[in-house]
Amino acid sequence: MTQAAAAPSRRRRRLKLAMPALLGLPVSWLVVFLVAPAVIVALYSVNELSLFPGPHSFALGGWYRLFHGGFMSLFWKSAKMSLIVSALVVAAAYPLAYFLALSGTRRKYVLLLLLIAPFLTSYLLRVLAWKVILSDGGVINTFLVWLHLEAHGHSLSFLLYSRFAVMLVLGYVWLPFVALPIFVTLETLDFRLLEAASDLYASRLQAFLRVTLPLSLPGVVAAFLFVFIPTVGEFVTPSLVGGQAGYMYGNQIVDLFATGFPDWETGAALALFLIGVIAVLTIVFVRFLRIGEARAA
């Protein structure tokens, strides 16, 4: 074989070796920190692994308790709260991202930095700050007493330790994060399309509904998922500001693993069910986006 003929063969061999070398570290990371823990949780959910020593065998007791122990009603309650929070946050973040992306102001990146500035503060501190604001002697109730709109000692009970408090704090926490994917999508919008819509005598509302909104839909769906996925399994915020009324599915999972009488089998079944629901919803949303992009094309 001549040297010229051997060169392409060596290049193909190097490419075959380079691909596993490049993918080896990220794939190993995913296997160790995502796949392996999920497999361990799955084994706990069917009693193949057990917290307590002694003989144990395959069983579906945890899954039975999931569907017949009242946990599904708690899941639907958490899913409903997360859907409401996600929809409201996306609706509030879209005008902000729209203004920053399409206003043409030179200071839009400064304004964007101010929008995401809360991320520079600890998540826990932000939630605790809202606990102070919403408490009986907090800023809101004190201000209402000062205005004589509320009698001293008769605070608004729904402000703290309620579903309202959980949804309000979750909305505040995730609003800046939601605005980012929408902002990126709108900033890459081809402005010539809006000019073409104007040339065709489309009003601003028609141009928004027929051009801007469909093209920004991938960012909107991504923003919705960014909120829904973490909030449906949230447990820190409900623990701090939710109380019994704001108790969510994630709190139940934590309690099953961490209380004085743990039930890891049921807790693993609840956790694996949540992972499965989120995976299915993600696949459905991604497929919906691909169909929408294909129709737009």
Percent helix, percent strand, percent coil in the chain, to nearest 5 = 80, 0, 20
Token pair 């949780």 is at which residue? 41
Q: How confident is the model at residue 82 (pLDDT cuts 50, 70, 90)?
A: very high
Rg (CA), the chain: 25
Highest mean pLDDT among 109-118, 133-142, 188-197, 269-278: 269-278
- pLDDT for 64 beyond 90: yes
Token pair 């129709």 is at which residue? 295
Residue range 145-154: mean pLDDT, rounded: 77
- pLDDT for 251 beyond 90: yes
Kindly state the helix (H) or strand (E) to which residue 176 belongs, with its residue range. helix 163-187
Instruction: Give CA–CA dist 133/127, Å, rounded.
Output: 10
Q: How confident is the model at residue 171 (pLDDT cuts 50, 70, 90)?
A: very high
- Are 250 and 238 within 8 A, CB to CB? yes
Highest mean pLDDT among 82-91, 99-108, 137-146, 254-263: 82-91
Q: How confident is the model at residue 194 (pLDDT cuts 50, 70, 90)?
A: confident
pLDDT at 50: 83
Residue range 190-194: mean pLDDT, rounded: 83
Instruction: Give CA–CA dist 29/37, Å, rounded.
Output: 12
Instruction: Give CA–CA dist 215/217, Å, rounded.
Output: 6
Share of the chain above pLDDT 90, in %: 36
pLDDT in tens, 271-284: 999 999 999 988 88
Both tokens assigned to 128: 């605790």
Token pair 């001549």 is at which residue? 2
Mapping DSSP to helix (H, G, I), strand (E, B) and coil, where does residue 229 land? helix
- pLDDT for 53 beyond 90: no
Residue 75 CB coordination number (10 Å): 19
Residue range 157-163: mean pLDDT, rounded: 87
pLDDT at 88: 95
- pLDDT for 91 beyond 60: yes
Both tokens assigned to 64: 């039975």
pLDDT at 119: 77
Q: Which of 279, 269, 291, 271 lies closest to 67 in space, CA to CA?
A: 269
Q: Which residue type is seen at 2?
A: T
pLDDT in tens, 18-33: 667 677 788 888 889 9
Q: Which residues are CB-contacts of 288 (< 8 A; sequence separation ≥ 6)?
A: 221
Lowest mean pLDDT among 5-9, 121-125, 196-200: 5-9
Q: Which residues of 226-247 are buried (b: 16+ CB within 10 A; e: fewer)?
A: bbbbbbbbbbbbbbbbbeeebb
- pLDDT for 270 beyond 90: yes
Instruction: Give CA–CA dist 22/281, Å, rounded.
Output: 30
Lowest mean pLDDT among 32-46, 102-116, 231-245: 102-116
Q: Which residue type is seen at 267?
A: G
- Are 214 and 295 within 8 A, CB to CB? no
Residue 90 CB coordination number (10 Å): 23
N-to-C CA span, the chain? 49
Domains of the chain with CATH codes: 71-296 (1.10.3720.10)
Q: How confident is the model at residue 219 (pLDDT cuts 50, 70, 90)?
A: confident
